[in-house]
Amino acid sequence: MTIKVGDKAPEFTLPSQDGTKVSLSDFRGKKNVVVYFYPKDDTPGCTKEACAFRDKYQVFTDTDAEVIGISGDSKKSHKQFATKYNLPFTLLCDKSNKVRELYDVPATLWILPGRVTYVIDKEGIIRHIFDSMLDFEAHVKEALKALKAIPA
């Protein structure tokens, strides 16, 4: 199954860096959601991407959106990463990579977990998909552009 723009986003529930369970359905009818999958906490590219989302976080909240980062790292790793870089958004632990597979996030060079961002509207419909392993800040720009195109 290949996920594309216009599809209903697959539902998931994962633990956050604080140990609370977070589900995509928690936001249904309330907020748009930017879900970004990234390879690993506290690595150069992932840190640039996370900090870019952090630096524009207020713009996301102003557009009625929540940002969620997902990787295979542990709660402890996520907590340290979020604390070290003062990340104001939720990081979710997908240790088994089940959600990554649900969202068809490809591996890079068949080994590195991919870097893909999904913009999901309040009704749970995927409005935009952006896949770039190396253009870290573009994930933020693309997500903001897609959010602005969603009717209020």
Summarize pLDDT for 78-131 with one digit per residue, the tens.
999 999 999 999 999 999 999 999 999 987 766 678 899 999 999 999 999 999
Residue 86's SS3 state is coil
Determine the pLDDT at residue 39.
93
Instruction: For domain 13-149, give its CATH number from 3.40.720.10, 3.40.30.10, 1.10.150.120, 3.40.50.10470.
Output: 3.40.30.10
Q: Distance between CA 28 and CA 46 in Å, rounded? A: 27
Residue 81: closest CA among 40, 111, 114, 116: 40
Task: Record the tokens describing residue 35, joined without a space.
Answer: 């879900």
pTM of the full predicted structure?
0.94
| Interval 8-63: pLDDT, tens | 999 999 999 999 999 999 999 999 999 999 999 999 989 999 999 999 999 999 99
Determine the pLDDT at residue 94.
96
Tell me: pLDDT of 132 over 90: no
User: What residues are labeled active site?
Assistant: 46
Q: Distance between CA 68 and CA 87 in Å, rounded? A: 11
Determine the pLDDT at residue 136.
80
Which is more confidently placed, 149 or 106? 149
Domain boundaries, the chain: 13-149
Per-position DSSP letters for 5-74, written without gaps between them: TTSBPPP-EEEBTTS-EEEGGGGTTT-EEEEEE-S-TTSHHHHHHHHHHHHTHHHHHHTTEEEEEEES--
Determine the pLDDT at residue 110.
61
Tell me: pLDDT of 137 over 90: no
